[in-house]
Amino acid sequence: MKDKACRVCHKISEDVKVCPACNSSDLTTFWSGFVIFVNAEKSAIAQKMGVTGIGKYAVRMSR
Ligand SMILES: [Zn+2]
């Protein structure tokens, strides 16, 4: 089973119905590419994506 990405905050999670980061139920399995942030506050990519947490985040999503 493919991990789900949150359309709101990009967070990728396994086996969830709501996003653990922002509680959105707007999840999709149609994503490609991911980045892992260990320190989002200092990452220019994270800031560009609007990510504030740490973990695995989808780069692109469709549908
Ligand atoms: Zn989210």
Residue 1: its pLDDT value, please? 61
19 is in an annotated binding site: yes
Measured in residues, the chain has a length of: 63
Residue 49: its pLDDT value, please? 85
**Amino acid identity, residue 11?**
K
Q: Domain ranges in the chain? A: 4-61
53 is in an annotated binding site: no
How far apart are the CA of 20 and the centre of ligand 1, in A? 7
How far apart are the CA of 36 and the centre of ligand 1, in A? 15
CATH number belonging to the domain at 4-61, selected among 2.40.50.140, 3.30.420.40, 3.40.30.10, 2.20.28.90: 2.20.28.90
pLDDT (tens digit, 0 to 9) for every residue of the chain, 63 residues total?
679 999 999 999 999 999 999 999 999 999 999 999 998 778 888 888 888 888 999 999 986
10 is in an annotated binding site: no
Rounded Cα distance, 16 and 40, in Å: 22
Q: Is 61 helix (H, G, I), strand (E, B) or coil?
A: strand
Residue 51: its pLDDT value, please? 87
Rounded Cα distance, 55 and 53, in Å: 7
37 is in an annotated binding site: no
Residue 63: its pLDDT value, please? 64
Residue 29: its pLDDT value, please? 95
